[in-house]
């Protein structure tokens, strides 16, 4: 008898992009853990049925996690998460080797395995929870630089770490734009299963890359496969009303929709999950900009970067070209966005609206990340921008989750 819902636990969960993608694919979040209290306010807002645990995973025992999730070992179907992993970077490894030689860190080698690297202890906790809770699958997401560092050595080490605890594991770099996200965003996914004689599932892309993209689809698609065009910035945000002005003290006034959707992506953003609770747009407040900024934004053409600006405009700011070549970037309506990052919270100059002389709002950034309008962000506007930039795009997560669900239905029916 097929189960109506499969279950998950989300580690490093805030604000809930990966959980949302899995929920879209028919999974039920039981519990989520993150040290970010503001991000977990957002998680609680959007997943009221899950146990939202604000805690340092290093101080949370597996027994306590299972107790609060209401499960026993082996009960949960999937554990998901994206633990910060810093020690794979060149600077990180060089610094670690130096500290080991100086005796600051007591390791057997100046070139430790990934799981023994002190900077990767959060990754080690993810492995620990998977080992203790014994899900049928796990999904771990991270930055794609792991794939190329030391000719893939770190990826091999991570796969070996999970295989030691009984999980057949594979890793691939996926691009969010392949799955209908209006953004070029590359991430590495590790997927593992303890089910015997079951393949590790990977989603097939449904959308083409924008012209000039640097990732090939050869590993995924056969020749002649029909793909949809990539979703563009304007298809993502072009139906939204003008934002509320960024007046100090004005929290988050909900704004009525004032035009109909003109593409399938916009309809999905408005309608998924029943739409926003009051039928209006939330998290849609513009920043205050100086007269100088407004003047420059108006002069910029779509797709223009700081490096493309004339000298007289650059002179208004005084930034160095060699360091700040992308300090200001104006989005193009006819292409997907470049990667939305958490740095967006500082000034947003890397995400200038393609039509209006302003930077994008939290809701517009959320649309570029594929968060439906029903998903409401909590905390200050700075908190909200950080949450959006740090999130896994839900549609990307849904693609991975759907493949796992298909296998679970086949194996457990």
pLDDT of residue 86: 62
Predicted confidence band at 323 (pLDDT cuts at 50, 70, 90)?
low
Which whole number is the average pLDDT over 308-337? 83
Predicted confidence band at 156 (pLDDT cuts at 50, 70, 90)?
very high
Angle between helix 121-133 and helix 153-164 axes, rounded to 10 deg:
30
Predicted confidence band at 402 (pLDDT cuts at 50, 70, 90)?
very high
pLDDT of residue 105: 47
Determine the 3-state secondary structure of 229 from DSSP: coil
pLDDT of residue 46: 98
Asked whether 62 and 132 are in contact (CB, 8 A), the reply is: yes
pLDDT of residue 294: 94
Q: What is the pTM of this model?
A: 0.90
Burial string for 51-77 (b: 16+ CB within 10 Å, else e) reads bbbbeebeebeeeebbebbebeeeebb
pLDDT of residue 228: 94
Predicted confidence band at 106 (pLDDT cuts at 50, 70, 90)?
low
Domains and CATH numbers, the chain: 6-224+394-412 (3.40.50.150), 233-390 (3.90.120.10)
pLDDT of residue 243: 96
Which whole number is the average pLDDT over 348-376? 97
Q: Find, among 77, 116, 69, 121, the residue nearest to 97 by Cα.
A: 116
pLDDT of residue 322: 64
Residue 319 has pLDDT above 80, yes or no: no
| Cα end-to-end span (Å), the chain | 5
pLDDT of residue 91: 46
Q: Are strands 78-81 and 6-11 parallel, antiparallel or unpaired?
A: parallel
- Give the number of other CB atoms < 10 A from CB of residue 243: 22
Residue 87 has pLDDT above 60, yes or no: no
pLDDT of residue 223: 46
pLDDT of residue 327: 83
Q: How far apart are CA 118 and CA 112, in angstroms?
A: 9
Alpha helices in 170-300 (DSSP H): 233-237, 264-271, 291-299
Percentage of the chain beyond pLDDT 90 is 72
More confident residue, 198 or 214: 198
Highest mean pLDDT among 81-90, 93-102, 343-352: 343-352
Asked whether 136 and 77 are in contact (CB, 8 A), the reply is: yes
Percentage of the chain beyond pLDDT 70 is 86
DSSP, residue by residue, 338-379: ----GGGGT--TTSB-SSSSSBPPHHHHHHHTT--TT----S
Contacts of 145 (CB under 8 A, 6+ apart): 88, 89
Q: How far apart are CA 413 and CA 411, in angstroms?
A: 6
Asked whether 187 and 392 are in contact (CB, 8 A), the reply is: yes
- Paired tokens of 227: 């793909």
- What's the farthest any 2 CA atoms get from each other in the chain? 70
Q: How far apart are CA 50 and CA 232, in angstroms?
A: 33
Residue 214 has pLDDT above 60, yes or no: no
Radius of gyration of the chain, Cα coordinates, nearest whole angstrom? 22
Q: How far apart are CA 243 and CA 254, in angstroms?
A: 9
Cβ burial, residue 336 (10 Å; 0-12/13-18/19+): buried
pLDDT of residue 412: 85
> What pLDDT digit, counting tens, does each position of 23-75 carry?
999 999 999 999 999 999 999 999 999 999 999 999 999 999 999 999 999 99
Q: Report the range of poorest mean pLDDT among 146-150, 196-200, 226-230.
A: 146-150
pLDDT of residue 266: 98
Q: Report the range of poorest mean pLDDT among 244-248, 346-350, 352-356, 384-388.
A: 244-248
Q: How far apart are CA 1 and CA 165, in angstroms?
A: 30
Residues catalogued as catalytic? 85
Q: Report the range of poorest mean pLDDT among 51-60, 102-111, 272-281.
A: 102-111
Residue given tokens 């699958």 in the structure block: 137
Beta-strand ranges (E) seen in 44-182 are: 51-54, 78-81, 137-142, 168-175
Predicted confidence band at 97 (pLDDT cuts at 50, 70, 90)?
low
**pLDDT, the chain, mean:** 89
Residue 104 has pLDDT above 70, yes or no: no
The vertex-265 CA angle with 347 and 47, nearest 5°, equals: 70
Q: Find, among 343, 349, 338, 412, the residue nearest to 136 by Cα.
A: 412
């Amino acid at each position: 008898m097929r189960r109506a819902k499969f279950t998950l636990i989300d580690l490093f969960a805030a604000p809930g992009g990966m959980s949302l993608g899995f929920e879209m694919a028919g999974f039920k979040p039981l519990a989520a853990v993150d040290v970010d209290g503001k991000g977990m306010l957002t998680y609680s807002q959007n997943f009221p049925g899950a146990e939202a645990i604000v805690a340092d995973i290093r101080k949370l025992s597996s027994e306590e996690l299972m107790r609060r999730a209401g499960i026993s070992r082996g009960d949960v179907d999937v554990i998901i998460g994206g633990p910060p992993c810093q020690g794979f970077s060149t600077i990180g490894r060089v610094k670690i080797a130096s500290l080991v030689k100086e005796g600051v860190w007591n390791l057997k080698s100046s070139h430790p395995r990934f799981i023994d690297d002190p900077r990767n202890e959060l990754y080690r906790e993810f492995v620990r929870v998977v080992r203790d809770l014994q899900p049928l699958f796990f999904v771990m997401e991270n930055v794609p630089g792991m794939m190329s560092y030391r000719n893939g050595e770190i990826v091999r080490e991570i796969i070996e770490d999970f295989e030691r605890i009984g999980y057949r594991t594979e890793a691939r770099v996926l691009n969010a734009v392949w799955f209908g996200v209006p953004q070029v965003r590359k991430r590495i996914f590790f997927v593992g299963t303890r089910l015997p004689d079951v393949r590790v599932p990977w989603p097939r892309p449904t959308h083409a890359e924008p012209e000039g993209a640097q990732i090939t689809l050869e590993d995924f698609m056969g020749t002649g496969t029909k793909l949809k065009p990539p979703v563009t910035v304007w298809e993502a945000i072009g139906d939204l009303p003008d934002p509320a002005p960024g007046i100090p003290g004005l929290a988050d006034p909900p704004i009525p929709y004032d035009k109909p959707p003109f593409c399938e992506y916009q309809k999905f953003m408005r309608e998924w999950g029943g739409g926003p609770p009051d039928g209006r747009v939330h998290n849609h407040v513009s920043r205050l900009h100086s007269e100088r900024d407004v003047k420059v934004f108006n002069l910029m053409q779509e797709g223009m970067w700081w490096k493309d600006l004339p000298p007289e405009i650059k002179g208004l700011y005084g930034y160095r070209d060699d360091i700040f070549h992308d300090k200001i970037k104006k989005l193009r309506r006819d292409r997907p966005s470049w990667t939305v990052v958490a740095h967006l919270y500082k000034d947003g100059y890397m995400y200038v609206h393609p039509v209006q002389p302003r930077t994008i709002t939290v809701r517009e950034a959320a649309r570029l990340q594929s968060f439906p309008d029903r998903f409401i962000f909590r905390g200050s506007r700075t908190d909200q921008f950080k949450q959006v930039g740090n999130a896994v795009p839900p549609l990307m997560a849904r693609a991975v989750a759907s493949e796992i669900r298909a296998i679970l239905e086949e194996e457990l029916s």
